[in-house]
Amino acid sequence: MQAELSTLCYLEQDGKYLMLHRVVKKNDINRDKWIGVGGHFEQDESPEECLLREVKEETGYTLTSYRFRGIVTFVSGTGVTEYMHLFTADGFEGEPIECNEGVLEWVPKESVESLNLWEGDKIFFRLLNNNGPFFSLKLVYDKDGDLVSAALDGREMKIQGPYIPSADELTEAALFSACMPQTTESTATKEEAVLHKPEMQKSGLRRILWAAALFAAVLIAGAALFWQNTAVQDGSPGEKRAAVSTGLTAAVSRVKNDAAAAAEVLRSVDTEKYMTKELILVNPWHLLPDGYEAELESVEYGHKMDECAAEHLRDMLSDCRDEGGSPLVCSSFRERTKQTTLFENDVRRFMYRGFSEEEAREETAKNVAVPGSSEHEAGLAVDIVYLYRQTLDENQENNETQQWLMEHCREYGFILRYPRDKQEITGITYEPWHYRYVGKEAAEEITSRGICLEEYLGVISGDESFEALDTDEW
């Protein structure tokens, strides 16, 4: 076997990638393909040195800001294996030149997949576009150039048939073997590893969340929410659960077939009292209102947060690094369209496995967050991991970087949003990487009292948590 080392870089500008159409060399393995710019290492070069040289030679640009995104192991089927060091760059200077490798063209990101790409390139493009953390992707092709297998961070991916994983689905794989900010919970199997988090995020948890969301909808329709002064609230925990069970069947008929209907049910919860920007409550029971727009400001490496939080996050990251830490932001603001795409793609995944559309939507509703229920859409949440250990599990807490963040985040107006002992209230398992901006005053009180945001806002107290309902019969 012959092994080669190379760099591959995608320059970004105004929502476009600089693509190279390889049409010059007759015996080029990339002949007629659209790829990024880059090339093979020269003797004693580091990946960064190779990157800067190749980009300069092929485009005329000098990079001023770039990011190492992952390693792609490219098994060509011809006896050559190439280890590509994948970069993106959002800063460069200089005048463009003609490339002797092909034709350079700025292509809108949403149009890239319509080009003649290597099939496996679609996988890493979706990871890049979703701002995932550093990843390792292995792509194996046969002699005819057809993709025969792929593995993301050591996990086999399902690639056969017409279904190709979407950006959000791939990020679920990367970010929950590495890090990503959705509240989708499911149990990983070898066959479906592309979509699933580690075992700590159980599918039953999402069922608890949906049961609780339906709980709120049923009580609103019948009387009032369980945290208001109603007969249901005054009743025993058993009476509360009985009220949920009574209305569950009727409520699920409204939501199981359509994501928009599910969002309508959840949106009936009154969120107006929590609409101060820093303290807006976003969870499966409280969706962001229609028309909400975060006022975004750049943080670093393409990540953005609402302007009320961005400066504080930059200060926290800077101070952590000054103290010897190595924090890495792996997810920040996310658009509503990404969550909608995730929901619909999961429906499509179930249908590809043989489910009817109705069954597929029902299964999806159990496991995928309804658009509007993610804090990341508000621009107030950020997922931070230790640079040298990006796996998303409870061991993320066992490093000095994360411990520093947990201890000092209140000083910058952030809280650890999903503490270990509050999952029955928040609906989310312990996440020692997910921080939420609430302002310094609220952060100090929440942290010092050992409570969560729901308790601080008076939405629910620790005594009013509910037991998981059996939703296996949905």
Give me the CATH number covering residue 79.
3.90.79.10
User: In angstroms, rounded to a whole number, what is the distance separating the alpha carbons of residues 158 and 181?
Assistant: 22
In angstroms, what CA-CA distances link 461 with 97, 257, 340, 457? 64, 32, 31, 10
- Of the given ranges (137-141, 176-180, 294-298, 392-396), which has the lowest mean pLDDT? 176-180
Tokens of 283: 């969870």
Residue scoring higher pLDDT (189 or 341): 341
Residue 37 sits in the same domain as residue 112: yes
Radius of gyration of the chain (CA): 24
Q: Active-site residue among 431, 445, 455, 464?
A: 431
Same domain? 355 vs 421? yes
Ranges 7-16, 222-231, 269-278: which has the least confidence: 222-231
pTM to 2 decimals? 0.46
Same domain, 153 and 216: no
d(CA 316, CA 311) in angstroms, rounded, equals 9
- Which range among 241-245, 426-430, 440-444 has the greatest average pLDDT? 440-444
Q: What is the largest CA-CA distance in the chain?
A: 79
Query: Does any domain span residue 291?
Result: yes
- Residue-wise pLDDT tens digits, 68-104: 999 999 998 777 899 999 999 999 999 999 888 888 9
Choosing from 117, 144, 169, the residue where a domain stops is: 169
**Interval 197-256: pLDDT, tens:** 333 333 344 444 444 444 444 444 443 333 333 333 333 333 333 333 233 333 333 333
Structure tokens at 295: 């006022």
Q: How many domains does the chain have?
A: 2
Least confident of 76-80, 258-262, 278-282, 398-402: 258-262
Q: Which helix (H) or strand (E) holds 5?
A: strand 2-13
Residues 9 and 145 in one domain: yes
CA distance 263 to 280: 17
* Shared-domain flag, residues 136 and 238: no
The answer to whether residue 301 sits within a structural domain is yes
**% helix / strand / coil in the chain, to the nearest 5?**
40, 20, 40
311 is catalytic: no
Q: Please, are residues 67 and 89 in contact by the beta-carbon 8 Å criterion?
A: yes
Whether 202 is in a domain gets the answer: no
In a domain, 60, yes or no: yes
Query: Which residues are 201's β-sheet partners?
Result: none
CATH code for the domain of 213: 3.30.1380.10
What's the chain's average pLDDT?
A: 74
Question: Which residue segment(s) compose the domain that 74 sits in?
Answer: 2-169
Residues 407 and 309 in one domain: yes
